[in-house]
């Protein structure tokens, strides 16, 4: 049982001061005035030291786990070890719910890491599923990203949905000339970045990939309906055309991931879709592939959710950068990484905000002397997971090097 006090509480409606959060078992029992703390006995007091008491971050799109398990193109680490190491890193960045985004690719000429081999993807899906009934730190969930030319994996994809091993699905089409790679020159450079190919070899590969066979729209709709029947949200990926938005919404899509232009993002919002951009996009000042600027889209109120994509630290730092560099309301920026993503994946009944009766997934954020925000405390399911204490060397003139070594 804990009481979190002396902080600025990120509530659904406002940033609340001079109040404390009472946690009992796995739930938030109450939000009380700080003057009422004395009425509660037997609780451990956690001093936020003036920092922000925030809901844990909900990250619904990140392939970070791939880099942990396959840190080099030919290396494949133990899957369970990789999940444990990833959890420790993710929670240090305030992520208490992670939708590990695994790509179910067909070979398309890119030198994908071995973790993207279908057999390894399914091994990892099973390993993530096993965390639900074994020791773990955060809420691990599965976001299956299905490439629509991967016809041979359809049956197993459906099986994982029906066995409740998947919690969010998206359909991807990385065919050159559309979506993320609508600019063929960017696609060409990406290919050459993965492979040492001649211009002639790249031309042949592009031509081949543009002709690849894909699952039909009817098959996509059938898979989508199975997901909907299992209360799984559906996302589209790299929406690059307003007409595509109508198409994806027709089979139950509620999330538009990474709309490529401001016009598409604006239309997705008008159509009632949740819109997602990558937090690294904010930190970098724009898209690495020449697409939508997340900061500009947020300024136009056309982005609802930020995800870490491939860089977990980006969630925390992007919301403060949006506030301080772009003048956005900090409270609203917190919603991009807490309540909004929880709503998009239908988990807001339990997580995503600090509210009586909800799960106690809470982090404390402190501003460092250099201005950077850092997570100093994390609580998941009412359990204290981490406490981090930053130190300052008091006597800056002292040396730990023995005097004899100076001469």
- Model pLDDT for residues 195-246, shown as the tens digit of each residue: 455 666 555 555 555 556 788 889 999 999 999 999 999 999 889 889 989 9
Structural domain range at position 154: 57-175+212-344
Q: For residue 330, is it within any domain?
A: yes
Q: For residue 197, is it within any domain?
A: no
Q: For residue 93, is it within any domain?
A: yes
Question: Are residues 136 and 94 both part of a single domain?
Answer: yes
Residue numbers of the chain with a pLDDT score lower than 50? 108-111, 176-184, 186-195, 405-407
Q: For residue 183, is it within any domain?
A: no
Q: Which residue in 274, 261, 291, 398 sits closest to 345, CA to CA? A: 274
Collapse the DSSP code of 299 into the 3-class scheme (helix H, G, I; strand E, B; otherwise coil) and give the result: helix
* Residues 48 and 369: beta-carbon distance below 8 Å: no
The span from the CA of 352 to the CA of 355, in Å, is 9
* Residues 337 and 352: beta-carbon distance below 8 Å: no
Q: Which residue in 275, 219, 207, 282 sits closest to 251, CA to CA? A: 219
Report how far apart the first and last C-alpha atoms of the chain are (Å, whole number): 55
Question: Are residues 267 and 383 both part of a single domain?
Answer: no
Question: Are residues 323 and 312 both part of a single domain?
Answer: yes
Structure token pair of residue 400: 């730990």
- CATH code: domain of residue 371: 2.30.40.10
> Between β-strands 305-307 and 362-367, what pairing exists: parallel, antiparallel or unpaired?
unpaired
The span from the CA of 300 to the CA of 165, in Å, is 36
What pLDDT does 213 receive?
77
Question: Are residues 368 and 259 both part of a single domain?
Answer: no
Q: For residue 156, is it within any domain?
A: yes
Question: Are residues 19 and 67 both part of a single domain?
Answer: no
Question: Are residues 43 and 144 both part of a single domain?
Answer: no
Q: For residue 397, is it within any domain?
A: no
Question: Are residues 16 and 69 both part of a single domain?
Answer: no
Helix ranges (H only) for 93-234 are: 118-130, 154-162, 184-194, 199-210, 217-229
- CATH code: domain of residue 319: 3.20.20.140
What pLDDT does 290 receive?
77
* Neighbouring-strand partners of residue 170: 145, 235
Question: Are residues 252 and 378 both part of a single domain?
Answer: no
Q: For residue 400, is it within any domain?
A: no
Question: Are residues 41 and 66 both part of a single domain?
Answer: no
Question: Are residues 370 and 314 both part of a single domain?
Answer: no
Looking at the 3D structure of the chain, how many domains does it have? 2
Question: Are residues 259 and 371 both part of a single domain?
Answer: no
What pLDDT does 207 receive?
54
Question: Are residues 335 and 361 both part of a single domain?
Answer: no
> Within a 13 Å sphere around the CA of 378, how many CA atoms are in the beta-carbon half?
22
Q: For residue 258, is it within any domain?
A: yes
């Amino acid at each position: 049982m804990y009481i979190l006090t002396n902080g600025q509480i990120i509530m659904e409606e406002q940033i609340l001061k001079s109040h404390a959060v009472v946690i009992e078992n796995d739930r938030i029992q109450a939000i009380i005035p700080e003057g009422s703390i004395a009425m509660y006995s037997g609780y451990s007091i956690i001093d936020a030291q003036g920092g922000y008491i925030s809901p844990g971050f909900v990250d619904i799109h990140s392939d970070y786990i791939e880099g942990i398990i396959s840190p080099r193109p030919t290396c494949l680490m133990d899957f369970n070890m990789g999940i444990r190491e990833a959890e420790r890193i993710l929670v240090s960045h305030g992520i208490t719910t992670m939708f590990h985004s695994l790509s179910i690719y067909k070979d398309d000429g890119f030198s994908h890491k071995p973790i993207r081999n279908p057999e390894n993807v399914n091994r990892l899906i099973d390993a993530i599923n096993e965390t639900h009934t074994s020791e773990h730190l955060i809420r691990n969930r599965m976001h299956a990203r299905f490439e629509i030319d991967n016809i041979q994996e359809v049956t197993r994809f459906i099986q994982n949905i029906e066995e409740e091993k998947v919690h969010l699905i998206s359909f991807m089409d990385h065919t050159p000339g559309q979506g993320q790679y609508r600019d063929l020159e960017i696609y060409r450079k990406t290919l050459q970045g993965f492979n040492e190919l001649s211009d002639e070899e790249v031309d042949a590969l592009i031509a081949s990939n543009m002709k690849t066979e894909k699952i039909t729209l009817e098959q996509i709709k059938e898979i989508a309906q199975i997901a909907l029947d299992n209360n799984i949200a559906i996302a589209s990926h790299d929406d690059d055309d307003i007409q595509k938005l109508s198409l994806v919404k027709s089979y139950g899509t509620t999330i538009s991931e990474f709309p490529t232009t401001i016009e598409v993002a604006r239309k997705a919002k008008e159509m009632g879709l949740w819109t997602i951009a990558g937090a690294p996009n904010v930190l970098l000042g724009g898209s690495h592939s020449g697409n939508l600027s997340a900061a500009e889209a947020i300024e136009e109120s056309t982005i609802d959710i930020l995800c870490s994509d491939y860089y977990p630290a980006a969630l925390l730092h992007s919301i403060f950068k949006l506030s301080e560099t772009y003048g956005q309301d900090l409270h609203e920026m917190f919603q991009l990484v807490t309540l909004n993503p929880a709503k998009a994946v239908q988990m807001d009944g339990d997580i995503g905000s600090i509210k009586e009766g909800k799960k106690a997934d809470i982090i404390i954020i402190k501003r460092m002397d250099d201005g950077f925000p850092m997570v100093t405390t994390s609580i998941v399911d009412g359990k204290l997971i981490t406490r981090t204490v930053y130190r300052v060397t008091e006597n800056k003139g002292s040396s730990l090097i023995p005097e004899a070594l100076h001469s």
